[in-house]
């Protein structure tokens, strides 16, 4: 029987519904996360785009900042746009609080206002050729630690990176091939049901989650087979 990993989507603000649809399209089971209890029920988590300072206020209001910080230290987590900012150890323009797990310096609103948003295609190490990337008031990764792997670039700058259990993108993969221009030139979500969105990034993350879950199940199984032995000295 095929297994569908349960992946949470932080549903405090941002386009979390689009992430949920993307997860369904890669055979993952999405779950909206709004409380610390919700976090306990998921194997991985997506932190969507939005406004990072608003995210911080909502996390504090819902008493979710510390539980989320504990989760992202050890469990697969994918941050997009504002989510990438929240994961970074260092945030500039201006400096602000973050979850502090991704060894990177991220500059907020590096490419200008929302009117300067654009859709580009860039190189990636993911299978399938160049990757479409939707940038909306995007941050810029200006510095990376040695342990961070670059998976995609924009004009030589990293836009999709991985560090152990952390995946981060400065663009919106949930909107790839589903974002366009209306007749008056405004950006909008396409309602063309015949389109085939590019879900490589979400598929990659779902595979990360499944890999970590498989390792956890394997570790639990080995611990069950070989319970810790105690000696007389240990018992004294």
Residue numbers annotated as active site: 81, 172, 174
Looking only at the bridges linking them, the beta strands covering 149-154 and 157-163 are antiparallel
**The two three-digit tokens of residue 173, written as one number:** 């993969």
**Cβ(28)–Cβ(49) below 8 Å:** no
For the stretch 93-125, what's the b/e string if a residue is b when 16 or more beta carbons lie within 10 angstroms of its beta carbon? eeeeebbebbbbbbbbebbeeeeebebeebebe
Residue with tokens 């200006």: 142
Q: What is the dihedral of CA 178, 78, 147, 99, to 10 degrees?
A: 130
């Amino acid at each position: 029987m095929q297994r569908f990993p349960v992946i949470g989507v932080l549903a405090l603000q941002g386009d979390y519904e689009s992430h949920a649809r993307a997860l369904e399209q890669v055979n993952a089971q999405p779950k909206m996360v709004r409380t610390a209890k919700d976090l306990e029920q998921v194997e991985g988590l997506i932190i969507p785009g939005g406004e990072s300072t608003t995210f911080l206020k909502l996390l504090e209001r819902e008493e979710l900042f510390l539980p989320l910080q504990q989760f992202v230290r050890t469990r697969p987590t994918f941050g997009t746009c504002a989510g990438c900012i929240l994961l970074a150890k260092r945030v500039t323009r201006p400096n602000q609080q973050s979850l502090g797990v991704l060894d990177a310096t991220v500059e907020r609103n590096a490419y200008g206002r929302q009117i300067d948003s654009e859709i580009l295609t860039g190189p990636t190490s993911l299978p399938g050729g160049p990757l479409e990337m939707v940038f909306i008031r995007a941050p810029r990764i200006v510095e990376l630690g040695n342990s961070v792997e670059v998976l995609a670039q924009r004009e030589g700058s990293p836009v999709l990176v991985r560090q152990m259990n952390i995946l981060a993108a400065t663009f919106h993969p949930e909107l790839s091939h589903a974002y366009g221009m209306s007749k008056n030139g405004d950006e909008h979500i396409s309602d063309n049901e015949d389109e085939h969105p590019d879900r490589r990034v979400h598929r990659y993350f779902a595979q990360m989650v499944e890999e970590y879950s498989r390792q956890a199940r394997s570790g639990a199984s080995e611990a069950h087979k070989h319970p810790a032995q105690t000696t007389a000295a240990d018992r004294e």
